[in-house]
Chains A and B, each alone.
Chain A
């Protein structure tokens, strides 16, 4: 069965520091890969996605992620964190399908705290 692991439940960084959030997946084949961010009481906002092609993906708000097939990883990075980045971050995967509907499998999430 497919699974997604986010090893870090909680990460604290200082404002201006770099950030890396880890995501590992277990899947039969390379799936679609997503990172979402959720502020308290809000819905999920898509940061970036990987379907195929270039393994370094650029997203919104200065985030990027690198797909590494050999490590089954899709880690999220940001070179300089802003206080507004404090939120919950979810990695998610979905099977590659030609159909319209897909089932996302989410990791357990990483809570990011940003210190001033």
Chain B
């Protein structure tokens, strides 16, 4: 298995909802990432997990809460989001000198 998978593919939520994005990889990668991408822009790094520990938080608002239950899974818990949080959320993983590989993304719309 040489890919990163993400669920759901699309998510529509209200500003009072709580939802979670899920990411999974079975390549043995020990670093996992969450990126946010707005239309016509490059991805922006949100969080980095290294060996299941949060190593980088790029000043992301607390309404985004990451979780790494084990070395293969990465979650992003969403609560009280704003319409400007609508974006494509990308998960990625890497290991050692290997490249960073991205999942297909979750298209999030906040109403």
Contacts and interface: CB of A to CB of B under 8 A. Distances in A.
Contacts of A34: 99-100
B43 interface: yes
A49 B92 CA distance: 16
B104 A42 contact: yes
Chain A contact patch, size range: 20 to 34
Interface in A47-84: 49, 51
Contacts of B50: 99-101
Interface string B12-42: 0000000000000000011101000000111
Contact of A43 (B97, B99, B102): B102
A100 B94 contact: yes
A109 B42 contact: yes
B97 A94 contact: no
B102 A102 contact: no
A36 B101 CA distance: 10
Given A43-B90, A51-B97, A99-B50, A104 B103 contact: no
A43 B104 contact: yes
Interface in B66-106: 88, 90, 92, 94-97, 99-105
B90 A104 contact: no
A108 interface: yes
A45 B94 contact: no
Closest 10 CB pairs of A and B: A106-B42, A101-B31, A101-B50, A43-B104, A44-B102, A100-B31, A100-B30, A43-B102, A43-B105, A49-B99
Interface of A: 32, 34, 36, 41-46, 49, 51, 90, 94, 99-104, 106-109
8 contacts: A41-B107, A44-B92, A45-B102, A100-B51, A100-B94, A101-B31, A102-B31, A108-B41
Interface of B: 4, 6, 29-31, 33, 40-43, 45, 48-51, 55-56, 88, 90, 92, 94-97, 99-105, 107
